[in-house]
Amino acid sequence: MASNGAQDAFAAQNVLAAMLTMRSSEAAKKKAAMDYLTRFQKSNDAWATTITILQSAATTEGEALVFAATTLKGKITYDLATQVPEADLPALRNQILVLLKRFAPGPKPVRVQLCVCLAILAIQMRSWKDVLPTVVSALGDDVASHACILDFLRVLPEEVTEGRKITLSEEELAQRTSELLADNADQVVQLLINYAQSSAAAAVNPQLFDCITSWLREVPVSTIVNSPLFNVVMNGMTNNESLQAASECLGTICRETRDVDDNIETIQVLLPRIIELRPYIKKVVDDEDIESFKALTRVFADAGDAWVIAIAREPQHFGGLVDALLECVARDQDRDVVEYTFGFWYELKQYIVLEKYIQARLQLVDVYSKLVDVFFRLLEYPESNNNNELDLFDGDREQEEKFREFRHHIGDTLKDACEVMGTAACLTKVLEAIQAWMQKYAGQASATSVPHWQSLEAPLFSMRAMGRMVENDESVVLPQIMPLLVQIPPHEKLRFAAIMVIGRYTEWTAEHPEFLTPQFNYIVSSFQTDSKEIVRAAAQAIKYFGHDCRRLLGEQVLELQAFYDQILDRLPEPSQEEMTEGVANVVAVQKPEDTYKLLKLYCDPLVQRLMTKANNATNDPGKYALADHIQLITTFVKIVAPNVPDGQENPAVKYWQEVFPIFSKVLDSFVSFVPICERICRFWRAMVISYRTGITPVLAEMANKLAEGFSASKQGCFLWATSAIIREFSDDREHVSESTSDNIYAFFEAQATTTLRIMSDIPPMDLPDVIEDFFRLLIDALLYYPHKIVPSPLFTPIFQAAISALALEQQEPLSATLHYIRDLLSYGGDNPAGSSTNLGPNGEQIRQIIRQLLMTHGEALIKQTMAGMMITFPRDCFADGSGVLLGMFQLLPEQTAQWVERTIHMLPEGTVTQVEASRLMVKIKERLQGSDPSGLRQVRVTLQDFTNTYRRRYVAPRDGLGQLEATRFHFEG
């Protein structure tokens, strides 16, 4: 790459100065330095400069040394094949070995990065056959060199398995993997044995265990377990210096035996040795050695996860391991290690609930019972240190959030226990815990003080967590618990927990209506408290009552409206939505003949509030409040959708038709405020989806307002609402007349024409939302009206607009555009995107039009797609970009190959060698001409690999993309 025209632009002193600038507090200088360093890392000069910096270690800061080593690693990974002649590779290898010897004593980060450099070079330098002997010989036999050799041995398997980043073919990489790993495995094991036996310090060196862990990917686990190294690992588990690394190694050994039938003999060796570690649990807990406690628990958990099927088969034989895991949980006073066991309890449950393992379930049910008891304790909130029960974590919000998250994970494992023990047994534990608290402390509770409330709240939370597992016909335990819930003392945390439980069990209450009234009254009375948390919980409970008990609450629909109207303005916006959802569900199940008057009863006050808010919305907060209020009314549209025979007037539509002019007026008044436009479009879109062809009486007026609003605001939400109309009133829908369908298509063309004019006047980067919604609309139009849109005069300018939109760098609009192009390409073949679409006699005409379009504009599409994949697309768009290339190869293979080749020749000079370009095109042509049916797919993978490599290697030119720059879209319509 260019060096900004100055021969010494990337000299060592300039690079070091840029690194110092990165510490600056001035954003502009930091950005300039970052840009400079990024260009440096991808330049030819970086090879010599990084080595110069590393050679001047005595006068260079550690941070700069790490940067230089990391840069050298990147150069070897991505640029070796294109910037270093093969004849110079031995000299580069020798230089790295010299640097490794120099940095053997440290700093460790530099040493490790240089080991990675050497490993990546070894992978690509296929003529280097004696890698291990060369490295061992060059580094020598002193203690510092041992550390260096161990680092190299550790990183080598890791880097080989990441070889996808390296520019070798699959065949070359497979051969090199075999040479470096499989062929050296026995030699490495012996090297490690010799090192471990060389001294007492070596036998507990964490690097040794890290090295064993790394090579377990390549060496059969039985080889390690049956070698002297296994005793070294087990001894390492009892040494403070090596425990962490040894535990990770032992855990990896266990994970490698996950195929229990293939490793049964190895497991029989491992099991007793691992159970021998159980006494250390008490020791590390008594010593308050948290890190060692975590390491031990992870080992037991790794063993349990790996052997879970064996435990289900032989629970007695493996019982010691299960007991060790239970002990880890039971001794975990501060919730440090229990999370490591969650996966085990889940996987074990998955097996023992099967009929095949019923005996294991009977033997292990007591373990899960004890687990639930422990979980009740772990779920308890901490005691307050300052007598402020509203702040139990002394202001540490991070700890509070971690505790909340932890409780939900515990809740998942409680569900597992329910499946093993049965819900009645778990609920009985909850009942007993509540009764025990009531007998012991209820008499001491007052309005201002509730002793030991934590031990009552924990089983309530547990009951809430179990809710999904409890059948609606449970009639033994729940009828005893439910009356107790409404008697819970008036403590904020307890009332919140009780409300959440009641809300969680509304499906059960619907089947046991005798409990509805006291529960519902308890929820309603909760709105009178001063606690925001309780009010939010109560609003959520109303939502669930409205959904699950809607028919039971039907007789109270009038009283419910009065309560709703009274309480609504006192609630925060999310709670308003939940309350509205709840009451709307009750309205929705009333008789269709009552729908109109009930909507007037419930929604007229909302519409009145809407007009008041609109009149008062003179600033942004007022406008946002207006937008949020529109959402409440939309909730009624989404939920209250009476089932009316076709041809009859829909009473809901009748009501919405009456208030339609009010929404139109609000839109006209606030068309420049995007959130209000979006909410009104969502409101109208919900009408289309809820009432489908029933909205025909307001269809023309709605279409006009959508067209006017889009033209005035240039906001994509109007296209988003348009797409719903396109779907519901397409040609193949029942009860849609041909004239209505034609009018809807004409409406679509008007919206499309407006969009094309906007895209002609405004660059794509200023229209991301419009472009996203436009091409999502086009996906629907192509699906439902292919016989109209493809022959349309708009078809070609839409395609040109799509190509210009590929210059964007935002994921959402790009994804929509690429999806549209991929769908369009599918209509050029025999399998259009809408698999159920019957193109009939129009099929051949559509295919011909699309192929002709591609013959004319295909080269521009290829150029822009490849430019995106190599330079501008976000990573999440790569798959769709390569899908476009695949579609083009399927339709026009020869022409597409030519266009790809021309595009590559447009790349900035020096960024791709002629050898690379020729190799790529040879691969593509071989795949296209071969008889392998997967040839096209292989072309796609080949292009993906090429564009990924190019993208990493070169920075996007700061002065634009040159010949790859997108052509500005112009529309004359």
What is the Cα–Cα distance from 264 to 274, expressed in whole angstroms? 15
pLDDT at 418: 96
Of 735 and 81, the one with more pLDDT: 81
Q: Residues 196, 228: contact at Cβ < 8 Å?
A: yes
Question: What's the whole-number mean pLDDT along residues 33-60?
Answer: 83
- Residue 956 clears pLDDT 60, i.e. is over it: no
CA–CA distance, 446 with 86 (Å, rounded to integer): 85
Instruction: Give the SS3 label for residue 565.
Output: helix
Q: 3-state class of 587 per DSSP?
A: helix
Q: What is the pLDDT of residue 263?
A: 95
8: confidence class by pLDDT, cuts 50, 70, 90: very low
pLDDT tens figures, 583-617: 999 999 999 999 999 999 999 999 999 999 999 99
Characterize 652-667 residue by residue with b for buried, 16 or more Cβ atoms within 10 angstroms of its Cβ, and e for exposed: bbebbbebbeebbebb
Please tell me the distance from the alpha carbon of residue 33 to that of residue 506, in angstroms, as a whole number.
60
Which H helix or E strand runs over 272? helix 264-275
- How far is residue 572's CA from residue 580's CA, in Å, rounded to a whole number? 12
Give the number of C-alpha atoms closer than 13 A to the C-alpha of residue 891, restricted to the C-beta side.
Answer: 27
Cα–Cα dist 381/617, whole Å: 44
Chain centroid to CA 41: how far? 30
Two tokens at 764?
Answer: 């794509």
Return d(Cα 310, Cα 327) in angstroms, integer.
Answer: 20
Q: Tell whether the model's pLDDT for residue 796 goes beyond 50.
A: yes
Crossing angle of helices 423-441 and 397-421, in 10° steps, is: 130
Q: Is 483 left (phi over 0), alpha (psi -120 to 50) or beta?
A: alpha
What the block records as the tokens of 578 is 């939940």
Kindly state the DSSP code that residue 958 receives in the 8-state scheme: T
Instruction: Give pLDDT tens digits for 827-869.
Output: 998 888 875 556 777 788 999 999 999 999 999 999 999 999 8
**Is 254:193 a contact under the CB 8 Å cutoff?**
no
CA distance 929 to 95: 45
pLDDT of residue 2 exceeding 50: no
Of 964, 970, 962, 972, which is closest to residue 762 (Cα–Cα)?
Answer: 970
Alpha carbon 649 to chain centroid, angstroms: 45
Quote the pLDDT of residue 308: 97
pLDDT at 152 over 70: yes
Q: What pLDDT was estimated at residue 169?
A: 67
- The residue among 173, 155, 156 whose CA lies nearest residue 164 is 173
Q: Report the range of poorest mean pLDDT among 9-23, 263-277, 497-511.
A: 9-23
| Res. 958 pLDDT band, cuts 50 70 90 | very low
Q: How many residues does the chain have?
A: 973
- Average confidence score pLDDT of the chain: 90
Asked if 639 and 580 touch (Cβ cutoff 8 Å), the reply is no
Nearest to 154 by CA among 194, 125, 197, 111: 111
Predicted local distance difference test score (pLDDT) of residue 312? 97
**pLDDT band at 353, cuts 50/70/90?**
very high
CA angle 303-308-311, nearest 5°?
A: 100
pTM for the structure as a whole: 0.82
Give the pLDDT band of residue 923 (cuts 50, 70, 90). Answer: confident
Reply yes or no: is the peptide bond before residue 107 cis, omega within 30 of 0. Answer: yes
Query: How many Å apart are CA 284 and CA 269, to the nearest integer?
Result: 25
Q: What's the pLDDT at 819?
A: 97
pLDDT for the residue 27? 82
**Any alpha helices (H) in 868-913, and if so which ranges?**
878-891, 893-905
Instruction: Using pLDDT thresholds of 50, 70 and 90, give the confidence band for residue 959.
Output: very low
Tokens of 668: 């006209």
